[in-house]
Structure 1
């Protein structure tokens, strides 16, 4: 009998080893799938509407003010979490502060990434935006820069810029009060543009390409930022469908928004680089960071360009939303306006409020907090993606699930905020009238590792603009041609970012002295 060669023996032995290894891998995979199925059966997923075969809960998903429907589901099923499945994607909505704190803060390692969101990342082109990056090294590098450049100390350093543009805003209100929505946007964009790029916006009322780019990017985020607004989020293959194909109108919308996002991501950055090359660039976040780079550091330039575009495009969103709601509340609640003005008048005389007066104006600070609670800027916070299987309160949460924090429901929880539908700044005050440190609106700025890095700058901008507006102006209901008061509709936009829709009101100087104080501001 012929003997086997050494090579042949080695080959057979290798194959003999590979067979059980392959079988072991197959068995392991099958056991893993079996375990997952058993887990789903043993530990039920959070409750929710009963799904249909294949399409799941597609027809159950709300398309307008989704946060209200999700809160109703949470109350109906008596559960912090609500689960739906849409075309094979598990979506879990978090409706209470208890669940949000446990998942997003205590278990942040599992709940800090983002779903793919092909509409907003691929088609609109917002991959560069920090808010939509997955929780990976690129995100960490971007977050580090944004966190450093929007720190509380940086906010204090930029207060002179905020005061300068607040004076312009007050003068605009005085000269053309009917255009107050436009003046709000001008103020917010001017502060951010100068801080990030050292550039100046054109006067309010004049078309400005930078403001147009920023508002276009924000509009895109608002329209497409809620996961599943567009079917392509659930079926990513649809992103390859041409715009002329029936039902592919989303392609045309994405193309329009991409034009704005491309400008926001590149044009201001390019202008700063050109100004630096000519030696006349103004000091800004971008110029400071670029000056530290080594020649030819393309990766570094890309990082700075993306972080700058993130701060620029989103930096004005919170201030614009809050100020619109502030004016609406002043029209609806003149007694609240009068109380805030009385507090200011008791502390500040012969001038407008400054940042030095903030601690002495607790009711004004409480009013700002209530604005953020009553009408949260982002009612459904940016979605998360669960990184691994998890359990919460006896419920099984599968890896890959899209997790949606319902900030509106959290800030409307009657166990935390008594009579939540009522606008009441005193809920944030002690009996003595000081700010209550145990009461906050932290959920308004996000959760865990993905909390908004620009919250300090946003709160600073809200304070100085609202305090000075109250000191200088009275805001009342508009009057129609027949002499009747016009009550605002109180309607809001319904996307990721929430804004009060345009309404009319009367904005008048409180006194001749108020006009003098506006002109004297910063002198």
Structure 2
């Protein structure tokens, strides 16, 4: 009898222990190598595609282990909402990324700051400029620049990519610093592009061993295999110099009474004698504008050009709508509400190839349990936005461009084809504060292009197909297309 009771107690203990272990285990994920974990399995480019394929095997909540770092990858709308939205207080931090945040210095900018007072102050400053009250001022700049872009494209359509880079940098630099740039070859435009390329490279998940072995940041730059130190130092120097120089130009305009309205001019007019700490904050927040609003919108517009060239029937429908609203004039930002089909086209631009396929990483403050899995404290949490926007359960035939998917009656199928912009601009308390600026710029440029040009025959400069590549930011391969005027500008 005693033996039977003992056996029952042991069985209960074993069952309870094993059940607790199962309940508290981390989510499943691909098997890695000893010590390195999955470090060598995460591609430096297009890691969102690898994560999406792994999610088909291991599920929408997946654990990836990179040496000493735990990465939780979320690949479903439900998981992202449950953790990053509903538990945003716990998941709103940013991780400390040795390569990008510490060595390359990007950790001091608003988007990469941990959730706290400085981050909130930075967002408040940005939203003081990008809001509905300021919209008329912003729209005037965007509309004028879009008209100039149309004129440049008419004169030299083959240079549409440099024209786009000039356009977005020009809008952002004028709104932020009151600086007017005339060409893509402007030193500031080039410098912004280089810094954004640096950011995309150094923030790619798993790209640098130092992110998994933080002690490597202490080795000297001359040490064999420490080329990452040079890469980070040079990126830090370029970004810091650009931030200081742009702010200095705007400050000098203020001092000489020649400043045009801008973000920096507004905050210096309100606080003409900032403390060194305040001035440092102003400089870092200013950088957020071109970091979030320049390169990302260029990529979205390149996708728009590509979709128009590859889908002439969609282009014709969008042009017919634009023509019916604007007649012989160029579009205005206020026309957006009257162009539902074009809005649907731009939703597909966001969905088919999101500019930030993996949302910037979040950091979980304390241990959590979700769906029976343990989320270790200090884990890096990454939302695979690309996977969600290509989920056939949400977006039937996800590999096809179908603007009409957003034009049905949402009450009939509320779970189908949600607005992709709800995913494309981040999650929870880390939603991009410049979303309004990005969306309005995308609309006014797309509408102006449709009113003025036909786009056709997209051809890759190299290879047989046009693919999307990148680290954190995604861009299409270089391509050419025919751009022919519909009207004299």
The CA deviation at 1:132 is: 1.0
Could you tell me which residue of structure 1 aligns to residue 418 of structure 2?
Answer: 439
Contact 2:145 2:171 in 1 (8 A): yes
Could you tell me which residue of structure 2 aligns to residue 200 of structure 1?
Answer: 180
Q: How many aligned positions are there?
A: 468
Could you tell me which residue of structure 1 aligns to residue 271 of structure 2?
Answer: 293
- 38 and 299 in structure 1: CA distance in 2 versus 1, 3 angstrom threshold: farther
Of residues 223, 226, 236, the one that matches 2:214 is: 236
- Within 1, Cα distance between the matches of 2:224 and 2:19? 42
Could you tell me which residue of structure 2 aligns to residue 6 of structure 1?
Answer: none
Of residues 40, 57, 68, the one that matches 1:76 is: 57
- Within 1, Cα distance between the matches of 2:165 and 2:21? 49
The CA deviation at 1:37 is: 12
Question: What aligned pairs does 1:106-505 form with structure 2 within 5 A after superposition?
Answer: 106-204=86-184, 207-293=185-271, 295=273, 297-430=275-408, 439-441=418-420, 442-477=422-457, 489-505=465-481
The residue matched to 1:172 in structure 2 has which SS?
Answer: helix
The CA deviation at 1:296 is: 5.2
Cα offsets for 1:348-394 (capped at 9, x unmatched): 31222222322221111110110010000000110111100101111
More moved, 350-359 vs 88-97: 350-359
TM-score normalised over the length of structure 1: 0.85
- Within 2, Cα distance between the matches of 1:371 and 1:269? 33
- Within 1, Cα distance between the matches of 2:464 and 2:69? 40
More moved, 341-350 vs 467-476: 341-350
Contact 2:68 2:213 in 1 (8 A): no
- Within 1, Cα distance between the matches of 2:182 and 2:18? 60
User: Which structure 1 segments of 5+ residues have no match?
Assistant: 1-35, 519-523
- Within 2, Cα distance between the matches of 1:225 and 1:506? 35
The CA deviation at 1:213 is: 2.1
- 479 and 230 in structure 1: CA distance in 2 versus 1, 3 angstrom threshold: closer
- Within 2, Cα distance between the matches of 1:37 and 1:378? 40
Question: Which of structures 1 and 2 has the bigger CA Rg?
Answer: 1
Task: State the superposition RMSD in angstroms.
Answer: 2.4
Of residues 45, 50, 58, the one that matches 1:64 is: 45
More moved, 437-446 vs 100-109: 437-446
The residue matched to 2:193 in structure 1 has which SS?
Answer: helix
The residue matched to 2:90 in structure 1 has which SS?
Answer: coil
Cα offsets for 1:303-332 (capped at 9, x unmatched): 111111111333212210111111111121
Contact 1:227 1:383 in 2 (8 A): no
Task: Please state if 1:509 is matched with 2:488.
Answer: no
The CA deviation at 1:155 is: 3.3
